Structure 1
Amino acid sequence: MKKYLITGLLVWLPTAITLWVLLWLVGLLDAIFGGLLTGIAAVSSDATGTVIEQLRHIPGLGVVLVFTALLITGALVSNVAGRWWLKQWDKLFTHIPVFKSIYNSVKKVSDTLFSGNGNAFRKAMLVQYPRAGVWTIAFQTGAPVGEVAGHLGVDFVSVYVPTTPNPTSGFFLLLPRADVIELDMSVDEALTYVISMGSVAPTAAVSLK
């Protein structure tokens, strides 16, 4: 019976957690959108307030609106005029004390991770960490530049070593390119391998067997 219970848990747990995360995200966006509508209704006429109150009770409307806003924003900044307005937006936020340091840091990280031209998390590697002879999975995040590159030289790579089973925390290392082994597995396969603590082998490794 214990074996069957554990097997059933393993079958349903990924689905349950996925649904829980999605429902939490929908609820969060609906709550934010509902608060915004409440503020608008407070300064609107009675007729407008009634319509807004009806909108608040539509489930998932916040997700639809956020998705639509992201889509429209992406389309607008894809042309010359949109990029000009984006530069003005950046200039505005980069001149606000305290806020600018947070905004600049988050923007640089997001541009690196999500830009199609970036190299972050595009390649999985094997590196020796935390000591020689002990190997772990890492992800290439780029190459040293500026002053760092001047001290180290050009034949180095920047890598991120995630922790297990939580890959959102980890360590940033600068390693000689000769000390890393590039892997053929995809980033998704490597992440799965890390999160599962090696219990879920990549597809390429399974096919070799």
Structure 2
Amino acid sequence: MRKYFITGLLILVPLAITLWVLNLIISTMDQSLLLLPARWQPEAVLGFRFPGLGTLLTLLIIFFTGLLTRNFIGKKLVIAWEMLLNRIPVVRSIYSSVKQVSDTLFSSSGNAFRKALLVQYPREGSWTIAFLTGTPGGDVRNHLVGDYVSVYVPTTPNPTSGFFLMVPRADAIELNMSVDEALKYIVSMGVVTPEHVAAAAGARNKPQPEPTRT
């Protein structure tokens, strides 16, 4: 009975967590329906609530915003909008900080979270997986002797919290795995091993056949 119970948990727990995350995302994105006038909302038009319409509306808003800002006029509007926000004292500091972080993380030309590294943390001889976020800048760079890199060390099993470290580049080992594979490895606490890495390790450990003698 215990084996059956554990087997059921292994099947239902990932499914329940996946559905919970999807429900959280869809419920949050459905809040975009509040932007519509009351008489245009689905409950007023259809007579009942239709889950997912807000998600579709949010995706359309994101898509058309990106489409409009790719041309010359759209870029000018974005510049004017940012100049307006930069004139508001409190909004200026929040918007500029968030924009710098988002540009670094989501820009295709950025290097943040593009590489998985192996670093020693929290002490020498203890290793963990980290993600490259860049190089130290500002006055911090003036106080560091040598070549350093900035890394983010996520916690397990919740990688959204973690620690920001600056370590010597020579002490950071670049891993042969993608960021997605490294995240799965961290969230699973080392249980889910990347397939190609496991296959390579298995090939190395596989005993070689003895050569035939003639």
User: TM tier, shorter chain?
Assistant: 0.7 to 0.9
Q: Which residue of 2 aligns with 1:2?
A: 2
Identity of aligned residues (%): 56
Gaps of 5+ in 1: 42-47
Q: Which residue of 1 aligns with 2:129?
A: 137
TM-score normalised per structure 1: 0.86
Q: Which residue of 1 aligns with 2:205?
A: none
TM-score normalised per structure 2: 0.84
Cα distance, 1:67–1:50 mapped onto 2, change above 3 Å? closer
Q: Which residue of 2 aligns with 1:100?
A: 92
**Which residue among 118, 134, 141 is the counterpart of 1:149?**
141
- Structure 1 segments (4+ residues) deviating >6 Å: 49-52
Q: Which residue of 2 aligns with 1:20?
A: 20
Higher Rg: 2
Cα separation, 1, equivalents of 2:13 and 2:40: 42
Deviation at 1:113, TM superposition (A): 0.8
- The secondary structure found in structure 2 opposite 1:122 is coil
Cα separation, 2, equivalents of 1:23 and 1:187: 25
Contact 1:140 1:157 in 2 (8 A): yes
Cα separation, 2, equivalents of 1:28 and 1:175: 37
Kindly report which structure 2 residues correspond to 1:50-61, keeping only aligned pairs within 5 A, or say none: 53-54=44-45, 57-61=49-53
- The secondary structure found in structure 2 opposite 1:158 is strand
Q: Which residue of 2 aligns with 1:205?
A: 197
Deviation at 1:205, TM superposition (A): 2.7
Q: Which residue of 2 aligns with 1:63?
A: 55
Give the length in aligned residue pairs: 200
Cα separation, 1, equivalents of 2:14 and 2:195: 19
Deviation at 1:53, TM superposition (A): 1.4
Give the aligned CA root-mean-square deviation in angstroms: 2.2
Contact 1:144 1:154 in 2 (8 A): no
